[in-house]
Structure 1
Amino acid sequence: MVVEMYRNCAGFFDQLEESIDSTLGESGFEERKNGEVFAMKVGLALGRSPAEVRELAGKCANSRDEGTPLDEFASKLF
């Protein structure tokens, strides 16, 4: 049962990653979603507010630059 839960979570995060990559990869300005709406959709999918998503993105960038481990997960739902 635990293995199925982790498999489900991995599929959810893979799908969310593909959605983010496809949105950021769109070349035309008209085709690209409004940034605030997109941040809200990502936040809702992760159980966070858009401000918390921006804060987490900043923490991720800092930890990647400094090489320190991140102390929280992206999702508050799982």
Structure 2
Amino acid sequence: IVGIASSFESTNLTTDQRDMLNIISSAADIVLSIANDILHMAKLEAKRVNLVHRTFDLLELLESTIDTFGKKAGTKKLEL
């Protein structure tokens, strides 16, 4: 999904298509992150883990989450 989405980034897209592509890319990144989290949990259970502290932009994370789930929430009359 990530590869296909990135291949569309260099094509001519309408604004709506570009917005949808950004949502798809964000969702794919989230799925990849979840898969990585599952792998990390398996390592924790096997007691083979190396914790890494890293900084992140909380506002950027929240905006990305709202962009990803906001339209779906709106169709269900929910507000994020």
TM-score (norm 2): 0.44
Q: Which has the greater radius of gyration?
A: 2
- Name the TM-score, length of structure 1 as normaliser: 0.45
